[in-house]
Structure 1
Amino acid sequence: MSGTGWPDLVAFLTSIGYGVASAIFPVVNAEAYVVLSQVSATIGALPIAIGLALGQTVGKLALFYSVRAGRESRFVRHRRARARSKPKGRARQRFDAAVAWLLALVGTKRWGLPIVLVAAIFGIPPLYAVALLAGATTMKAHWFGLMVLIGRATRFVLIAEGSLNLSGLFH
């Protein structure tokens, strides 16, 4: 962290909390938080970026684990059995095929982790959706978490550094 004062520690801890919230609730925007924190220029970029990355990793792992646990629940098994018994229209068949293809792609050893890393850095495909898909695969949670942490830290540090260059426009 830049400096060892209480303001940096508070900013770091607050950023972790904000990161968790933004990982679970997409309307809470972590990127805006990074930019606004740097416009004020009272706290360094690293405590904010690393705190948000840690928080986002915790939040995305919560989504990952909720899907993993939820797919074996009695409610989900009942819904799946009920859905199989109903005839499907063309649109539903296409949707199901697309989801199956994405699950297969994210679940492969060759493409799963690179997809998570690209989603964490660039947001394409959306990391929220990737976290849900990854939870439905056999991907190891620790590898998923590591890719999210590396990707999000990279993303937020780049955004913070870019906003530091822009903050001179507001002073």
Structure 2
Amino acid sequence: MSWALGILAGVGYGLGSALLPIVNAEAYAVVCASTRAWVLVPVVIALAAGQTVGKLLLFEAARRGSTRFHTGSKVAALAESRWAIRIRSALVHRRTALPLMLASAGLGLPPLALVSVAAGASGQPRRTFAGLCLLGRTARFAAIAIPVAYATGIR
């Protein structure tokens, strides 16, 4: 895989996995780490960037109350769940909002899809959400891929 193709595929996989639960960005990071270590850093960053863009789409849909999403959609279901209400209440205060968004992006708990929708609905600053999402996702993918690269001894 070429460097440019790895980055493009990483962005695409990240974006796809942010919107479609059947696409697994972590699996893509592991496969890349086990085959070509030299593409590891660009692919990790590309995956994180793609995921951030995808989660920003959910964030913006919730923020704008987009009429493009009908009542039965995934975004509407996330916005109406009990978890989303609890998360949204935690997002009201900056001292709880920032760690919650970073933990969600890095650890996946609470699920980033829920936090994305709740953060958009609660009026979080877009740049803050995007920055924390990118930071957390980069750390997550690096924490998954780097040990694989070392374990397989790929150079």
**Global fold match (TM > 0.5):** yes
Between the aligned residues of both structures, percent identity stands at 36
Q: 5+ residue gaps in structure 1? A: 1-5, 79-94
Corresponding pairs, count? 145
Q: How does 1:1-171 map to 2 (within 5 A)?
A: 7-41=2-36, 43-70=38-65, 73=67, 99-168=84-153
Partner Cα separation in structure 1 for residue 127 and residue 41 of structure 2: 23
8 Å CA contact 2:48–2:134 kept in 1: the answer is yes
Q: Report Cα offsets for 1:27-85 as digits up to 9, x if no partner.
A: 211100100111222642101100001000100000000111126x5x98x9xxxxxxx
> CA offsets per residue over residues 69-107 of structure 1, 9 Å max, x none?
126x5x98x9xxxxxxxxxxxxxxxx75x6433211023
User: 1:84 is matched with which residue?
Assistant: none
CA distance in 1, matches of 2:11, 2:116: 18
> 2:65 & 2:57 partners in 1: Cα distance?
12
The CA distance in 2 between the partners of 1:166 and 1:133, in whole Å, is: 38
In 1: Cα distance, 2:29 partner to 2:131 partner: 21
Conserved 8 A contact 2:84-2:115: no
CA distance in 2, matches of 1:116, 1:39: 30
Which of structure 1's runs of 4+ aligned residues deviate more than 6 A? none
- Tell me the CA shift for residue 163 of structure 1: 1.0
User: Contact 1:34/1:160 (CA < 8 Å) preserved in 2?
Assistant: yes
TM-score by length of 1: 0.76
**In structure 2, distance between residues paired with 1:34 and 1:105:** 31
**TM-score (norm. length: structure 2):** 0.83
> What is the match of residue 75 of structure 2?
none
